[in-house]
Structure 1
Amino acid sequence: MEKFLQTLLVIHIAAGSAALLSGIAAIIFKKGKKGHNLSGKMYYWSMLIIGITAFGIAIPKGNMFLLMIGGFSTYMTLTGYRFLQFRRNQGLKFGFWDYVFIVTGFVTLIIPTLYFTQVGWHKIGGFGVVFVVFGLMLAGMLLGDLRIGRKLTTYPRAWFLNMHISRMMGAFIATCTAFLVQNWHTDPVFIAWLLPTVVFTPVIIYYQRKYKVSSSQLKAKTVVGKY
């Protein structure tokens, strides 16, 4: 088992490095162009490998940090790509796998909550603040996606593009967070946890404004906008 976990860890680190590099490239390259598409695909698959190996490492070792970050980043990666699919083909419906993603997201939120409640929240110090922040973000995202699924056909193409960028950037923030937490010990601990969110949130806001969708567009069922 130990050798298996060591192998998973090596794969996890390699995928993490690839995700950071390809993620930066995807941000820099112009959206819709070859460079962005290639780096985006590399980023997507690297992130999925990170998620799979994170679960494989976290569950046997009881590492709640890795489980939470792995679930958070994997959910955003999967739904980020899913929103791109919805944009490209508005005939797609919110289906079985979308609900599987949401249920899995709730599981990765509930398990650490039960664990911390059992061991005592006072024993985890500054990590409790971090968990509450990320937990509320993930819970809000999951509930929001359930609402989105019920009225999927009412959203224009530009809105799906906005969501695609936001989710992929969110997953990138989670990856940067994991990298910092493992390699940079801060006092208080939540500085390393929240710094990537503070740094990259303005980038998300920039793209949200760039591909902003008006309220009148959201009410329309016509295809609006371009990549």
Structure 2
Amino acid sequence: MHKILLVIHVIAATVALVSGMFAILARKGRGVHTGAGLTYYASMYGTALSAVIMSVMKWNPFLLSIGIFALYLVYSGRKAIWYKRLKAPYTPALKDKLAAYIGLATGTVMLGYPLYQYSTHSGPAFSVLQVFGFILLLYCLRDLQLLADPRNFTPHNNKVWLPRHIGAMGGAYISTVTALLVVNVHFSPGWVVWLAPTAVGSVLISRSIARIRPRRAHTPATTE
């Protein structure tokens, strides 16, 4: 069973890397971007879910946390587009916030687990896992903040969701690239391989979001 899941994981990750690149490079909007994005969304779920299941079968809390990290970002990025396309006012329910609460719990564990290992003399006090945990906590706290503001769910006034979509989907893609490099690139010190995609990807994501914000700033405000 584990071998079957591993094959599924590798195939899904490969599809995610290719389709994600098409979605990034394609002109934004309906068409290639949407088609590639949906493929990326589905394949990332396959990648992350298979990683979570394998980490439970052969207990690996590190892989489990990273799998949940990727799942949350893909979920959050997809929901952001759903919120952006609302045609009527919407009030978020518990189901909309549940994933963020699970993400908060996971991020807290990712921050604390290396400290537990250090207390038992089985690992260092600091780990790249804590970096990803901190990023996940920031994402979840920001999502909860956005979900608490009714103005973000008024049609034509939900301007926060496109940048949110770009950030979350881009973050999930970074996690996939990171996993690929960690498995195939052997470099010392190892933390460089873990954190380099995050450093480079974060700059590219920030630039993409910055390009759309000036245009949106000049959009006339709608009156109710």
TM-score, structure 1 length as denominator? 0.85
- Structure 1: distance between partners of 2:205 and 2:223: 25
Aligned length: 218
User: Which ranges of structure 2 fall in alignment gaps of 5 or more residues?
Assistant: none
- Structure 2: distance between partners of 1:133 and 1:142: 14
- Structure 2: distance between partners of 1:116 and 1:9: 26
The corresponding residue for 1:68 is: 65
The corresponding residue for 2:127 is: 129
Of the structure 1 ranges 133-142 and 42-51, higher mean CA displacement relative to structure 2 is found in 133-142
Give the secondary structure class of the aligned counterpart of 1:211: helix
The corresponding residue for 2:24 is: 27
- Structure 2: distance between partners of 1:168 and 1:61: 28
Q: Are 2:69 and 2:136, in contact at CA under 8 Å, matched by a contact in 1? A: yes
The corresponding residue for 1:194 is: 195
RMSD of aligned residue pairs (Cα, Å): 2.6
- Structure 1: distance between partners of 2:80 and 2:29: 15
- The letter for the 2-side match of 1:65 is F
Q: Are 1:44 and 1:77, in contact at CA under 8 Å, matched by a contact in 2? A: yes
The corresponding residue for 2:114 is: 116
TM-score, structure 2 length as denominator? 0.86
1:83 aligns with 2:80: yes
Q: Are 1:159 and 1:213, in contact at CA under 8 Å, matched by a contact in 2? A: no
Cα offsets for 1:1-44 (capped at 9, x unmatched):
xxx11111111111000000001000000100411111000000
- The letter for the 1-side match of 2:6 is L
Cα offsets for 1:101-129 (capped at 9, x unmatched):
11221343344455434432664349x33
Q: Are 1:102 and 1:142, in contact at CA under 8 Å, matched by a contact in 2? A: yes
- Structure 2: distance between partners of 1:8 and 1:93: 38
- Structure 2: distance between partners of 1:180 and 1:207: 23
Cα offsets for 1:29-88 (capped at 9, x unmatched):
010041111100000001111121111011222212211211111101001010100000
1:55 aligns with 2:52: yes
Deviation at 1:152, TM superposition (A): 4.0
Deviation at 1:221, TM superposition (A): 7.3
The corresponding residue for 1:180 is: 181
1:78/1:64 Cα in 2 relative to 1: closer, same or farther (>3 Å)? same
- Structure 2: distance between partners of 1:198 and 1:119: 26
Decide which of 90, 93, 113 is 2:91's aligned counterpart.
Answer: 93
1:95/1:10 Cα in 2 relative to 1: closer, same or farther (>3 Å)? same
- The letter for the 1-side match of 2:20 is G
Q: Are 1:48 and 1:74, in contact at CA under 8 Å, matched by a contact in 2? A: yes
Cα offsets for 1:167-213 (capped at 9, x unmatched):
10010001111111111122111111111112222221121111116
Q: Are 2:16 and 2:44, in contact at CA under 8 Å, matched by a contact in 1? A: yes
- Structure 2: distance between partners of 1:202 and 1:222: 35
- The letter for the 2-side match of 1:175 is T
User: Which ranges of structure 1 fall in alignment gaps of 5 or more residues?
Assistant: none
Q: Are 2:106 and 2:133, in contact at CA under 8 Å, matched by a contact in 1? A: no
Percent identity over the alignment? 31
- Structure 1: distance between partners of 2:26 and 2:217: 30
1:88/1:193 Cα in 2 relative to 1: closer, same or farther (>3 Å)? same
